[in-house]
Amino acid sequence: MTPIPKAPKVLDALIPLVFLIVLLVLTIKIFGTDGLSGSNQIVLILSAVVAGSIAVFRLGYTWDTLQDGIIKTISSAMSSILILFLIGALAGTWLLSGIVPAMIYYGLQVLSPTLFLFAACFISAIVSTATGSSWTTVATVGVALLGIGKALGFEEGIIAGAIISGAYFGDKMSPLSDTTNLAPAMAGTDLFTHIRHMAKTTIPSIAITLILFFVIGLNYKPVGVVEDVLIISDVITSTFHITPWLFLVPILVVVMIIKQVPALPVLLAGALLGGLFALIFQPEIIARVVGEEGSYAYLGFKGVMMAMYGKISIVTENVLVNELLVTKGMGGMLNTIWLIVCAMVFGGIMEESGMLKVLAFAIIRKVHRVGSLIASTAATCVFFNITTSDQYLSILVPGRMFADVYKKRGLKPENLSRTLEDSATVTSVLVPWNTCGATQASVLGVATLVYAPYCFFNIISPIMTILYGYLNIGINYYDKEEELA
């Protein structure tokens, strides 16, 4: 008979975690923002080796058991991987068709440098709330806003921080968001109770964020000047056929998302429509990208295919515009997907062996007050974002762990669901090897550690929920009749 594995001790679980953190700090120091190109992936694999060795030789797990856990964890990330591929394809055809250049062109006409950061955050928040998807918001509106901001002379880190702050507000508050539905399901409350309760912390957090971006915009001295903006606008219009008709594609994508069409069909439709509009509006651009002669059908097919699967760049006489007119297609997402798979290998071993749970339970035993319970929940969610590299696991596991604890303390489940979102959902994008952090860095072309200091909403949210806990503000308790029920 197969022997029953031992339960891990806290020290067993800490060894691979400390190993991971030390090596990541070392590789970040050596490779800097290039860690996504391979060093972070190797660190995660080596950390998985350490965790697996402890699980097999110390705890008595078989490799087959651990492998099943790895496969299960990777399977949970497959939808994210497929979405990443389609985002790459969409970015390619939207550049080739002139959709993103049109967004940049019209955005430059209406957004002033003073209000740009405020507007970028606000627009992202509105779009993300309407669509329920931070990933789609960043990959479409966010890419255009990044181009506008760079044209106006802002540093890419602060632009990305404004975009992501707004996008994750919508990811938290939209009833269409998967995390907004997942958190109350794990905590045991209903969707709209969860959203109403979450608004108590989320509205102040986004208000502070918008004020910060407004103040920074008033005092920021971007290197771009009005003349530069005019030059960039002229280069775009002389290179592409810019027309409002191009906005039909993003409008259709937004409508499909609002109608709750699943993300994969929406992104595929958006990519294919982008290719169709490229054939209609930008035949000269297609010919430049392909770089050879041939029939219209041949050039169109090859150009659209190249935009979907690989890197394309459209060269103009302006260096800054050239930086805006580059996309990597599906192939550009491979480093991110490689990182996600490696992270899932490490997370799968840690969860299957019970090491993650033993660390979390060690925290729970030391909790006595409401404030410390909420703080411990938030810390556990952040911990899971770092160790499992997946925001869904960071909601699922702590949600299951803390549900009974909250009930025994007389706290209604919406307190738990709010804390899960205030900490797990928003901090996932701040971790370079998390699926969210890796994805947004890849989509925007801005390293996670470059934009993270400017993601004010994502930083403020967990602090706000912990503060509410310690000050006993906005906490819902069971009354005696409800406790008896």
Sign, CA torsion 238/239/241/247: negative
Q: Read off the pLDDT band of 2 (50, 70, 90).
A: low
Per-residue pLDDT at 480: 64
Nearest residue to 60 via CA among 354, 277, 464: 354
Mean pLDDT of 467-485: 79
Per-residue pLDDT at 201: 93
125 pLDDT above the threshold of 80: yes
pTM: 0.70
Q: Read off the pLDDT band of 207 (50, 70, 90).
A: very high
Per-residue pLDDT at 192: 77
1 pLDDT above the threshold of 60: no
**Rounded to 5 degrees, what are φ and ψ at 326?**
-130, 135
Q: What percent of the chain has pLDDT over 90?
A: 33
Cα separation, 391 vs 130, in Å, equals 21
Nearest residue to 85 via CA among 252, 261, 271, 279: 271
C-alpha dist (Å) from residue 88 to 135, 428, 440: 12, 21, 12
Task: Write the pLDDT tens digit of every residue in 327-383.
Answer: 888 988 787 788 778 878 888 898 889 887 787 777 777 777 888 899 989 988 898
Q: Give the 3-state secondary structure of 71-125.
A: HHHHHHCHHHHHHHHHHHHHHHHHHHCCHHHHHHHHHHHHCCHHHHHHHHHHHHH
Q: Read off the pLDDT band of 229 (50, 70, 90).
A: low
Task: Write the pLDDT tens digit of every residue in 286-306.
Answer: 999 998 888 889 999 999 999
**Least confident stretch, 153-167, 258-272, 449-463:** 258-272
Which residue in this structure is represented by tokens 């860095």? 441
Q: Read off the pLDDT band of 276 (50, 70, 90).
A: very high
Per-residue pLDDT at 15: 92
Which pair of tokens denotes residue 297?
A: 């059908």
Task: Write the pLDDT tens digit of every residue in 53-66.
Answer: 999 999 999 999 99
Residue 143 Cα to chain centre, angstroms: 13
Question: Terminal CA-to-CA distance of the chain, rounded, Å?
Answer: 45
36 pLDDT above the threshold of 70: no
Per-residue pLDDT at 20: 82
Helix 263-281 × helix 283-290 angle, to 10°: 100
Task: Write the pLDDT tens digit of every residue in 65-95.
Answer: 999 999 988 887 787 788 778 878 988 898 8
Q: Which residue has the higher pLDDT, 368 or 213?
A: 213
Contact 388, 362 (CB under 8 A): no
Largest CA distance in the chain: 80
Q: Read off the pLDDT band of 484 (50, 70, 90).
A: very low
Cα separation, 367 vs 400, in Å, equals 17
Per-residue pLDDT at 482: 57
Per-residue pLDDT at 61: 92
What does pLDDT average to over the chain? Answer: 85
Looking at the DSSP bridge assignments, the partners of residue 326 are: 313
Task: Write the pLDDT tens digit of every residue in 409-459.
Answer: 888 989 999 999 999 989 999 998 887 898 899 889 899 999 999 999 999
223 pLDDT above the threshold of 50: yes
Task: Write the pLDDT tens digit of every residue in 9-33.
Answer: 989 988 998 898 788 778 867 876 5
Cα separation, 441 vs 451, in Å, equals 8
